[in-house]
C-alpha cells in the first residue's frame, strides 16, 4: 500500500466521488490538514479519479499524473513558494483547452506560503474559471490565506487515519513500524511515513528505549546525559521520552507495568515539561539533561 491507496479509504475522497457521480463538482477546492504530503497526494488522487475512473495506476493518464508530466494536470508553485509569477502563468494557461482529458486541473501546493500579492492576482481566475477548469489548492493552515480566497473555494478538511491503517501503510511501504512514528504522526499518514523513514528519529527512539531500560543508578546518568544533551535532536528526544511514558502509563492502566506507578508517571511528566520550558529559555543543555535524568531516576525508585 502506498499513501494514495490509503487515501482512497478516507471519507473525504468518498464524498468527492459522490459529488462527481451527481455532477455537483465545485470549480475550486481548498484542501487543508497539517500534513503537507497528505495534502499533495490527496490533490493528486482527485486528479487521478477525474482522469481514470478506475484508478488503475498503470494507464497513460495515471502514469503521467503520478510522474507530474500530465499536460492537463499542472502543479504549482514552480519553485519554493507561490508568487505572482506563478499566478501569471496560470492566467496565461487557463484558457488553453485540455489536450488529452476532459479537465484542465491546477494543483497549487502549500498555498499558505503564497504571497498576498499572488493570492490577489489569482482571485478572478479562481472565481470565474473557464468550463472544465478545476483548482485543487492545498494548505497546512488557513490562517495566512485571504478571506477572499476562502470565500471563493469549497473547503475540504482532511481527517486522520486509524492506527491499524497506518501500521499497514508502514509495513508495506518501509517493512518496519516504529511505534514512536505512529505517536508523533498523530494519525497523519504523510507525517507518520516521514518519521518512520527518518534515520535520526529512529536513532533517537533507540537511544530513549535503551535509556529507559538501563538507567538504574546515578552512574548511568553520566553515560546518557552526554548524548541526551546534544543540541541536535534535543527537543525530539524530549518528545520521544514523553511518548514513551505515555505508553508506560497505558500499560499501567492495563495492569502490564510494574516498575512505575500512575503517581510516578505524573511526576515524570512534570519534569519533562519543565525540561521543555528550560530548553525554550536557552538554558544549559547539559544541566537540563542531568536534572531530568536524575529526576526520573529518583521518581522511579521513590514512588515505586
48 and 98 share a domain?
yes
Residues 73-116 pLDDT 10s: 999 999 889 999 999 999 999 999 999 999 999 999 999 999 99
Phi, then psi, of 114 in degrees rounded to 5: -70, 145
Tell me the residue range of the domain where 212 lies. 199-302
154 and 116 share a domain?
yes
219 and 262 share a domain?
yes
Query: Which of 14-18, 132-136, 175-179 has the weakest average pLDDT?
Result: 175-179
Q: What was the pLDDT predicted at 69?
A: 97
The more confident residue out of 168 and 302 is 168
65 and 90 share a domain?
yes
Residues 211-266 pLDDT 10s: 999 998 888 999 899 999 999 999 999 999 998 988 888 888 888 877 788 888 88
The number of residues in the chain equals 304
Q: What was the pLDDT predicted at 280?
A: 93
Q: What was the pLDDT predicted at 302?
A: 67
- Asked whether the predicted pLDDT for residue 273 surpasses 80, the reply is yes
Q: 304: exposed, middle or buried (C-beta count within 10 Å: 0-12, 13-18, 19+)?
A: exposed
186 and 212 share a domain?
no
Q: Would you say 34 and 188 are in contact if contact means Cβ atoms under 8 Å apart?
A: yes
Q: 16: exposed, middle or buried (C-beta count within 10 Å: 0-12, 13-18, 19+)?
A: buried
pLDDT (average), residues 278-303: 90
- Asked whether the predicted pLDDT for residue 304 surpasses 60, the reply is no
7 and 146 share a domain?
yes
Residues 110-155 pLDDT 10s: 999 999 999 999 999 999 999 999 999 999 999 999 999 999 999 9
Q: What was the pLDDT predicted at 42?
A: 98
Cell 548524548 sits on residue: 227
In this structure, the number of other CB atoms found within 10 A of the CB of residue 229 comes to 18
Distance CA 214, CA 210 (A): 6
Q: What percent of the chain clears pLDDT 90, i.e. is strictly above it?
A: 81
Summary mean pLDDT of the chain: 93
214 and 224 share a domain?
yes
216 and 265 share a domain?
yes
9 and 154 share a domain?
yes
Q: What was the pLDDT predicted at 174?
A: 87
Examine the fold and report which residue of 176, 197, 218 is the final residue of a domain before the chain moves on: 197
Question: How many domains are there within the chain?
Answer: 3
24 and 137 share a domain?
yes
- Asked whether the predicted pLDDT for residue 1 surpasses 70, the reply is no
CATH number of the domain at 56, please: 3.40.50.300
Read off the pTM.
0.81
Query: Which of 49-63, 99-113, 178-192, 289-303 has the weakest average pLDDT?
Result: 289-303
Examine the fold and report which residue of 197, 222, 256 is the final residue of a domain before the chain moves on: 197
Distance CA 114, CA 110 (A): 7
101 and 212 share a domain?
no
Examine the fold and report which residue of 130, 159, 188 is the final residue of a domain before the chain moves on: 159
175 and 259 share a domain?
no
Cell 494557461 sits on residue: 93
Amino acid at each position: 500500500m502506498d499513501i494514495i491507496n490509503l487515501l482512497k479509504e478516507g471519507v473525504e475522497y468518498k464524498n468527492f466521488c459522490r459529488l462527481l457521480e451527481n455532477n455537483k463538482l465545485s470549480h475550486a477546492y481548498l484542501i487543508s490538514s497539517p500534513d503537507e504530503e497528505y495534502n499533495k497526494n490527496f490533490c493528486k488522487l482527485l486528479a487521478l479519479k477525474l482522469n481514470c475512473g478506475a484508478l488503475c495506476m498503470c494507464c497513460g493518464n495515471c502514469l503521467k499524473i503520478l510522474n507530474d508530466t500530465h499536460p492537463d494536470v499542472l502543479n504549482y508553485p514552480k519553485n519554493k513558494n507561490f508568487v505572482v509569477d506563478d499566478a501569471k502563468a496560470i492566467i496565461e494557461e487557463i484558457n488553453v483547452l485540455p489536450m488529452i482529458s476532459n479537465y484542465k486541473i491546477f494543483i497549487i501546493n502549500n498555498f499558505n506560503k503564497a504571497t498576498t500579492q499572488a493570492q490577489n492576482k489569482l482571485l478572478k481566475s479562481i472565481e470565474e474559471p473557464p468550463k472544465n477548469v478545476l483548482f485543487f489548492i492545498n494548505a497546512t493552515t488557513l490562517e495566512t490565506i485571504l478571506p477572499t480566497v476562502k470565500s471563493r473555494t469549497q473547503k475540504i478538511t482532511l481527517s486522520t487515519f486509524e492506527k491499524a491503517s497506518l501500521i499497514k501503510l508502514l509495513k508495506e511501504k518501509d517493512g518496519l513500524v516504529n511505534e514512536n512514528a505512529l505517536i508523533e504522526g498523530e494519525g497523519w499518514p504523510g507525517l507518520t511515513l516521514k518519521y518512520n523513514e527518518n534515520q535520526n528519529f529512529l536513532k533517537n527512539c533507540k537511544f530513549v528505549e535503551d535509556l529507559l531500560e538501563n538507567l538504574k543508578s546515578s552512574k548511568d546518568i553520566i553515560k546518557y546525559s552526554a548524548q541526551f544533551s546534544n543540541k541536535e535532536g534535543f527537543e525530539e528526544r524530549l518528545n520521544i521520552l514523553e511518548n514513551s511514558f505515555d505508553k508506560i502509563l497505558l500499560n499501567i492502566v492495563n495492569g502490564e507495568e510494574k516498575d512505575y506507578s500512575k503517581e510516578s508517571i505524573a511526576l515524570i511528566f512534570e519534569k519533562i515539561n519543565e525540561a521543555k520550558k528550560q530548553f525554550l529559555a536557552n538554558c544549559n543543555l547539559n544541566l537540563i539533561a542531568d536534572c531530568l535524568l536524575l529526576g526520573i531516576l529518583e521518581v522511579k525508585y521513590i514512588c515505586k
